[in-house]
Amino acid sequence: MSLAANAKQTAIAATGNAFVTEAFRQIEPDALCAYPITPQTTIVEKFAQLVADGEVATEYVCTESEHSAMTATVGAAAAGARAYTVTAAQGLAHMWEELYIASGLRLPIVMINVNRALSAPINIHGDHSDIMGARDTCWVIIIAESPQEAYDNTIIATPVAEDLLLPVMSSLDGFITSHSIMRGDVVDDATVKAFVGEYTPCDDLMIGSPRTLGAFANLGPTYMKVKKAQRDAMDRGLASIKRVGDEWASITGRSFDHVETWGMEDAERAIVVMGSAAGNARAVARRLRAEGEKVGVVKVRTYRPFPVADIAAALANVDAIAVLDRAETFSAQAGPLALDVMSALYDAGINTPLRTYIYGLGGNDVKLEQMYQVFTDLKAVTTDDVSGVVNSTPRYLGIG
Amino acid sequence: MSDKWIKAGPSSIPENLDIDNFDNWAVEDFPIGMVGPAGNGAEYYTGGWRHEKPVWQKDLCKNCMLCWINCADTAVFMENQTVSGINYHHCKGCGVCPIECRFGALKMVPEHVDHLDPAAVAAAEGV
Ligand code: SF4
Ligand code: SF4
C-alpha cells in the first residue's frame, strides 16, 4: 500500500522494445545473457548501451548463439543471479531444449520474447509461431497487447518467477508492438525496485558447498514425480500471477486480468484473440456496438498456465464464438489458442457454435475488414442450427 | 560480478536427505529442481559403452593436460596436477583425447587389448 502511495508515473511515448528496456533498467537484473545478432531486437541493443554507460550494474554476457544465451542464463540463474534473456523467432526455437532445462531446474528466469514468424520461408515479422514452440516447456507465458502491457508484464514476471520457481516468458508482438511508438506510463525507479525486491536464490551454486542440479532420474517414477512437482507449481501459477498483477495494478491503476473482456456482459457473438490484434477486434466491436450489434472481445493475456475457468466464464452466455490464431498447429482442427479454448469449453460443458481462424501469419496486415468478416460469419452461424466446432479446419483471413 | 550474488538462500534440500530411499519419496519430498549433493557421478560407472579405449603412455606424455580439459567425461586421472592415466570406469571411448594429444601419448586400441601390456598395445591397430 505504501508503494502505491509514494509511486509516481511519467507518461512517455516509446516503442514496445524501449518500454521493456526501461523496465530492465529499473529492475537491474544481476545478469543478462543474450545473443546480440539477428534475430535479436533493440531491447538488447539499448540495454548493452546502458551497461556500457555504467547506468546499470548488470553483468551482460554476449553469447555466440541463442542456445548458448539460454545456457548462460541457466548457468547464471543456477549460480544464484536474477538472470534475464531476450530473444525472438528462430532464436527462441534454437533455445528449445534449454527451455526445458530452465524449467526442470526450477530457475526463475525472465525472458522477453519479441514474437515473430519462423522460417521457411524467411520472414521477420510478428506472429505467434515461436511462442507456440515453447508452449509445452513449463514456462509461464504472458502476452502483451501494447507497449504499456509489455512494460507491466516485464515487471510482473519477476516476482511471479521467483514465487513459483518457474521461468516466465513475457512476449510482445514483433514490430506491431515492439517497434510502434505508443504513449504509456512508466513508474518511478524506486517503486519498481521495491516492487520486485531483493532476490534471494534457492539452492544456488554460490553458497559455498558444491551441488548437483537436475540430477539423474532415469528409472522408476522419480522423473515423473519431479514433473508432477513442476505441474503443481504451474497449477499455482494463475493465483500467483493474479496476485502479483493485482499488486502492480494497485500501484499503476492498470488492472490485470488473465482474460480481459470487452462488451462481454451481454454479447451474443465474441472474438477470442491474443496480443496486439485484440485492439483491432475491439475497434470493430465498438463500431458494431454503435450500430446495435451485441458483440464482444475476449483477450487472453496469460497463456500458460491457460486460464480455463476465466475463458469458460467469459464465453458462457454467447451464441457464437470465433477464436483467432496467429500461429498454425497444422493439426486437423484448429490453431493452438482455439484448441485451448475448445478444451476449456468442453471442460465447462459448453457446446456453443465455434469457428476457428488463422490470421496475421508472418506479420500479414490485420485489417479491420477481417474482424468485420469474422463477426459477419458468426452472425450466419447463430442463424444456422449448429453447435460445437463449425467446419473442421480453420478459415484463413487476409489472403483474399 | 557483484557481491549481492553471493548469499545463502533458503535451501530446498531436506536436512536428512535419505538418498538411498529416493524411490519411495513423495512428489513434495524431492528438492526443488532435483538438487542434490555434488560429486555422486563418481559412483556411477559409464565405462561399459566403449568398443575402443585410449591407452596413456607415460613416457611420451608432456603433461600439457589437453586430454584432461577436452574429455567430456572427466575421465582423465590427475594426481598432484599431473596426468596419471585414464579412468576406465568412466571413459566412454569417444576418441577425442588421442586426437587432442600433440605428443602421441594416447593411443586408441580395441577394447580387448590389455592396456597394461606395452607389447600388446604397440602391436594393436590404433589411431
Ligand atoms: S576416449 Fe573420450 S571419454 Fe575416454 S578419456 Fe579420452 S576423451 Fe575421455
Ligand atoms: S594430451 Fe597427451 S601429452 Fe598432454 S597430458 Fe594428455 S597424454 Fe599427456
Q: Which atom of ligand 1 is nearest to the CA of B92?
A: 3
Distances (CA, A) of A330 to A92, A131, A246, A360, B94: 20, 15, 37, 16, 40
Nearest to B5 among A107, A165, A206 (CB): A206
Mean of the pLDDT values across residues A219-237?
93
- Centre of ligand 2 to C-alpha B123, Å, is 21
Tens of pLDDT, residue by residue over A52-82, are: 999 999 999 999 999 999 999 999 999 999 9
Question: Which residues have CB under 6 Å of ligand 2?
Answer: B 56, 61-67, 83, 100-101, 103, 105-106
- The whole-number pLDDT of residue A29 equals 98
Mean of the pLDDT values across residues A314-340?
95
Mean of the pLDDT values across residues A205-234?
86
Nearest to B13 among A59, A79, A203 (CB): A203
| B39: nearest CA partner in chain A | A212
Whether residue B8 has pLDDT greater than 60: no
- For atom 6 of ligand 2, the residue with the nearest CA is B67
Q: List A262's β-bridge partners, or say none.
A: A297
Query: Which of A180-189, B25-34, B42-51 is modeled with the greatest confidence?
Result: A180-189
Whether residue B114 has pLDDT greater than 90: yes
Question: Best mutation site among B65, B78, B94, B100 for ligand 1, i.e. most ligand atoms within 8 A of its Cβ?
Answer: B94
- Grid cell 509461464 in the structure block, residue: A140
CA A235 from centre of chain: 17
Mean of the pLDDT values across residues B42-68?
94
SS3 assignment for A60-117:
EEECCCHHHHHHHHHHHHHHCCCEEEEECCHHHHHCHHHHHHHHHCCCCCEEEEEECC
- Partner-chain contact A203 B12, CB within 8 Å: yes
Tens of pLDDT, residue by residue over A146-157, are: 999 999 999 999
Asked whether A348 and A306 are in contact (CB, 8 A), the reply is: no
Domains located in chain A, CATH noted: 2-252 (3.40.50.970), 259-396 (3.40.50.920)
Instruction: Record the cell numbers describing residue A7, joined without a space.
Output: 509511486
Whether residue A173 has pLDDT greater than 80: yes
Tens of pLDDT, residue by residue over A125-143, are: 999 999 999 999 999 999 9
Tens of pLDDT, residue by residue over A252-272, are: 999 999 999 999 999 999 999
Nearest to A212 among B8, B27, B40 (CB): B40
Instruction: Express as a percent the part of chain A with pLDDT over 70.
Output: 100
- The whole-number pLDDT of residue B10 equals 62
Whether residue A31 has pLDDT greater than 70: yes
- For atom 2 of ligand 2, the residue with the nearest CA is B101
Mean of the pLDDT values across residues A284-308?
98
pLDDT-based confidence at B5, cuts 50/70/90? very low
Domains located in chain B, CATH noted: 45-123 (3.30.70.20)
- Provide the 3-class DSSP secondary structure of residue A324: strand
Half-sphere exposure of A96 (CA within 13 A, CB side): 11
In the predicted model, what is the mean pLDDT of chain A?
A: 95
E-state strands within chain A: 9-15, 31-34, 59-62, 83-87, 110-115, 140-143, 168-173, 181-187, 211-212, 259-262, 269-273, 295-300, 302-304, 320-325, 354-358, 395-396
A108 vs B contacts (CB less than 8 Å): none
Instruction: Express as a percent the part of chain A with pLDDT over 90.
Output: 88
- The whole-number pLDDT of residue B127 equals 54
B57 alpha carbon, closest ligand: 2
Whether residue B38 has pLDDT greater than 60: yes
Mean of the pLDDT values across residues A355-369?
97
- The whole-number pLDDT of residue B3 equals 37
- Centre of ligand 2 to C-alpha B68, Å, is 8
Tens of pLDDT, residue by residue over A90-131, are: 999 999 999 999 999 999 999 999 999 999 999 999 999 999
